Chains A and B, each alone.
Chain A
Amino acid sequence: DGGITQSPKYLFRKEGQNVTLSCEQNLNHDAMYWYRQDPGQGLRLIYYSQIVNDFQKGDIAEGYSVSREKKESFPLTVTSAQKNPTAFYLCASRGQATDTQYFGPGTRLTVL
């Protein structure tokens, strides 16, 4: 099946720990995105990548880091510098010259 997968579905982190959220797509899409969703709010862009080995900060990049070593993969690391990391994280991808983003199922991160 073609699509976007995110793992894990639920993630618990102790304060001071870094955690990495996985995002994989087999849609052959060039662009990939990470969004954060807080309760009752819309999505906000954390980082995006339009091509392998290149990525840019979004609106709320502080405390997060990413890599894009392969076209299929765009992992997000939530570092200890992120003040309030408890949220729902969504990964999306978009094909070149197309306008529509398709989303993965999301990861719920909770800081204990």
Chain B
Amino acid sequence: AQTVTQSQPEMSVQEAETVTLSCTYDTSENNYYLFWYKQPPSRQMILVIRQEAYKQQNATENRFSVNFQKAAKSFSLKISDSQLGDTAMYFCAFMKHLPSNTGKLIFGQGTTLQVKP
């Protein structure tokens, strides 16, 4: 069975600085997807970034980038130039490769990030 672990329950960062959130996962699959979702105080789950395991290049979306280390089963999220609006809970999630699976997401426990002015 797949598991996702986020070892940092809470983190804080000063506005405009850079912060990295950690995520490790366990799987015997070779092809899969990894995601970071953001859940602000409104509790709406918002996709931040996604990575396909067969792609070696790390995904980037504006100020958000990942460090994907397949052999180490590590998938960290880097937020550059942190903004107050980045304050949220961040979830790392794993999904087996389609189309042979159900699309089920397996989530980590989440990391609460506070951006301080």
What residues of chain A have their CB less than 8 Å away from a CB belonging to chain B? 31, 33, 35, 40-45, 48, 50, 56, 58, 88, 90, 92, 94, 97-103, 105-106
Docked Cα-Cα span, A105 to B46, in Å, equals 10
Q: A90-B45, A99-B33, A103-B44 are in contact. Are A42 and B91 (CB under 8 A)?
A: yes
B107 touches A42 (CB 8 A): yes
What is the interface residue range for chain B against chain A?
20 to 34
Q: A103-B45, A105-B44 are in contact. Are A48 and B99 (CB under 8 A)?
A: no
Give the A-B contact count at a CB cut-off of 8 A: 61
B95 touches A99 (CB 8 A): yes
Interface SS of chain A: strand
B84 beta carbon closer than 8 Å to chain A: no
Docked Cα-Cα span, A105 to B35, in Å, equals 19
B43 touches A45 (CB 8 A): no
Residue of B nearest to A44 (CB): B107
Q: A41-B109, A42-B110, A97-B98 are in contact. Are A50 and B43 (CB under 8 A)?
A: no
A99 touches B50 (CB 8 A): yes
User: Shortest CB–CB separation between residue A97 and chain B, in angstroms?
Assistant: 6
A33 touches B103 (CB 8 A): yes
A-B contacts, 15 of them at CB < 8 A, read A35-B105, A40-B9, A40-B110, A41-B110, A42-B4, A43-B105, A45-B104, A48-B104, A88-B43, A90-B45, A99-B50, A99-B52, A101-B103, A105-B42, A105-B44
B16 beta carbon closer than 8 Å to chain A: no
